[in-house]
A and B are shown apart, each in its own frame.
Chain A
Amino acid sequence: MQGQPEREYIIEVEKINKTFSGGVHALVDFSTKVRKREVVVVIGPSGSGKSTFLRCLNGLEEIDSGSIVIDGIPLDDNKKHRLEIRKEVGMVFQLFNLFPHLTVFENITLAQRLVRKKKKEEAMEMTVNLLKKVGIPEKANNFPNQLSGGQQQRVAIARALAIMPKVMLFDEATSALDPEMIGEVLEVMKNLAREGMTMVVVTHEMGFAREVSDRVIFMDFGRIVEEGTAEHFFTNPQEERTKLFLSQIL
């Protein structure tokens, strides 16, 4: 998507630091900006801080210093700001985290009613549409444990989309899936990217990065090691660490 006019930044991360209680310095003066409609893929070895970065973006982890601004709203101690950001940022987890006591339909409808204060009919209509979009309209009345992993993850994506976020975060959304189910979830994610959703995706799926990403960030030890298009990473990686990592995952 190069060559298009400069768009407004929707995520602005400025020199954030995060140290866990065990003393692990997960993010070190980490800065990046994401434009509207941009798809950013974050790769890196385990423990490199990529999940922590994602979780800081919607306030699941507190940063020690630095600043995060989402769609013009600063993520600070103001509770209103925090709630607003949580509404604007959808998240998909590695282990789906569906609500096991609610049906698929209820999983997707709940936040629409409680957070977006939608009328029942409106929420139901949206849920039906979302289930069609992720390709499992027939599972509406099933409980999560009656679905395959791939289906559960697609429900989780629909659930996150239901609050109409401006940004979607994917935290290793396909890592816990059996190989034959990865494709169906990636397909939903690719469609979302093509529709113009702003996405930050932590993944090891370089095929996905190549097909839909605008930018790939390679992280290690809480810092950005190298950054560029997916093509750049396939053909011309500069840093030794990048080359080593790519040789391990490709």
Chain B
Amino acid sequence: MNGLMITPRARRTGIVFNRSTFFDILKFLALIALLTFLLYRGTKSLGYNWQWYRVPKYLFQFEEGKLIIGPLIEGLMVTFRIAAFGLILAFVFGLVTALFRMSSSFVARVVARGYLELIRNTPLLVQIFFLYFVMAPVLGIDRFVAAVLALSLFEGAYASEIFRAGIVSIHKGQWEAAHSLGLSTFHTYLHIILPQAIRRLLPPLTSQAISLIKDSALVSTIAVYELTMQGRAIVADTFMTFEIWFTIAAIYLVVTVALSIVVNIMEIRLKIVQ
């Protein structure tokens, strides 16, 4: 292969470093430089008074050698909690809805379809308001629970279509083999169908998880003090609109990219096992 060295690492990751890779990186750096320049020109013409030096203390600060967590990081922790509970619930809603849609029971199919269409065809913001202002007093739940519930119901509807696609994609022969061995429908799903489907579903489910994390910003509208809400409060106090919002965007970016990387590693591992 043109005397090209394929290192063990390259074999594992599929990345081969050669001259064209070098030029690719050069082009990428040029693009970044151009974008930075444009951004600089844009903000310059704004006449905005940048005060980046005031931002770090909203992340964290040291006082007398002790680490004090700032409101943005506090908000991020709340976002994490919302996202964690939300994701678990969303996947449960998604899986149950998918199974309902494929079940032989007419009622289950109608319920699943109704939920799916209702959620997909109305704005998330309205759903959050509905749950918090209308349902929460009836059910006696606080704003955090209402937020988690609204988000997971919303993302769950989308996740259900992903689950369904994954389950349908498993070859009919797998069902027949399980059936002929006397496995129940439950055991067939648990041991045969879902383990195979999950491998195919990881990439689209990751997108859904990222959506959930970003959409969690919307629960700031019902005054849940997550990352975005903290940001709004700080902006109201300090008028550092751009600094704070850019910082928040960067935090979301770091979180979602980290999630993507983790899932990528999981995917590679699952492939090796199979």
A98 adjacent to chain B (CB < 8 Å): yes
Beyond A86-B181, A101-B195, A143-B274, whether A93 also contacts B174 by CB under 8 A is no
Contact assessment for B177 and A93 in the assembled complex, using a CB-CB cutoff below 8 Å: yes
Q: CA–CA, A188 to B195, complex, Å?
A: 31
Contact assessment for B177 and A86 in the assembled complex, using a CB-CB cutoff below 8 Å: no
Number of B positions contacting A (CB below 8 A): 19
Contact assessment for B179 and A97 in the assembled complex, using a CB-CB cutoff below 8 Å: no
> Which A residues are CB-close (under 8 A) to B192?
99
Q: CA–CA, A97 to B172, complex, Å?
A: 9
Task: Type the 1/0 row for A213-230, where 1 means its CB is closer than 8 Å to any CB of B.
Answer: 000000000000000000
What is the CB-to-nearest-CB distance from A105 to chain B, in angstroms, rounded to a whole number? 14
Contact of A93 among B173, B184, B273 (CB under 8 A): B173
What is the CB-to-nearest-CB distance from A156 to chain B, in angstroms, rounded to a whole number? 8
Q: CA–CA, A91 to B173, complex, Å?
A: 12
Q: CA–CA, A89 to B182, complex, Å?
A: 9
Q: Which of B179, B181, B187, B195 has the most CB of A within 10 A?
A: B181
Contact assessment for A111 and B183 in the assembled complex, using a CB-CB cutoff below 8 Å: yes
Task: Type the 1/0 row for B189-227, where 1 means its CB is closer than 8 Å to any CB of A.
Answer: 001100110010000000000000000000000000000
What is the CB-to-nearest-CB distance from B270 to chain A, in angstroms, rounded to a whole number? 9
Beyond A93-B173, A101-B196, whether A114 also contacts B180 by CB under 8 A is no
> Which A residues are CB-close (under 8 A) to B142?
none
What is the CB-to-nearest-CB distance from A34 to chain B, in angstroms, rounded to a whole number? 17
Q: CA–CA, A30 to B181, complex, Å?
A: 25
CB closest chain-A residue, reference B188:
A114
> Which B residues are CB-close (under 8 A) to A97?
171, 173-174, 176-177
> Which A residues are CB-close (under 8 A) to B274?
100-101, 143, 145
What is the CB-to-nearest-CB distance from A123 to chain B, in angstroms, rounded to a whole number? 13
What is the CB-to-nearest-CB distance from A7 to chain B, in angstroms, rounded to a whole number? 25
What is the CB-to-nearest-CB distance from B199 to chain A, in angstroms, rounded to a whole number? 8
What is the CB-to-nearest-CB distance from B185 to chain A, in angstroms, rounded to a whole number? 11
What is the CB-to-nearest-CB distance from B196 to chain A, in angstroms, rounded to a whole number? 5
Task: Type the 1/0 row for A55-67, where 1 means its CB is closer than 8 Å to any CB of B.
Answer: 0001110000000
A201 adjacent to chain B (CB < 8 Å): no
CB closest chain-A residue, reference B172:
A97
Contact assessment for B174 and A86 in the assembled complex, using a CB-CB cutoff below 8 Å: no
Contact assessment for B181 and A110 in the assembled complex, using a CB-CB cutoff below 8 Å: yes
> Which A residues are CB-close (under 8 A) to B181?
86, 90, 110-111, 115, 159-160, 163
> Which A residues are CB-close (under 8 A) to B196?
99-101
Beyond A99-B192, A100-B274, whether A86 also contacts B187 by CB under 8 A is no
Q: CA–CA, A167 to B171, complex, Å?
A: 25
A128 adjacent to chain B (CB < 8 Å): no
Task: Type the 1/0 row for A96-127, where 1 means its CB is closer than 8 Å to any CB of B.
Answer: 01111100000000110011000000000000
Beyond A98-B177, A143-B274, whether A163 also contacts B182 by CB under 8 A is yes
Top 7 nearest A-B pairs (CB, nearest first) are A97-B173, A97-B177, A91-B180, A111-B181, A115-B182, A86-B182, A87-B182
* Chain A residues near B (Cβ < 8 Å): 58-60, 83, 86-87, 89-91, 93, 95, 97-101, 110-111, 114-115, 143, 145, 156, 159-160, 163
Show 16 residue pairs from A and B whose CB-CB distance is below 8 angstroms, ordered by the A residue.
A60-B176, A99-B196, A100-B196, A101-B196, A101-B274, A110-B181, A110-B191, A111-B181, A114-B183, A114-B187, A115-B181, A115-B182, A143-B274, A159-B177, A160-B180, A160-B181
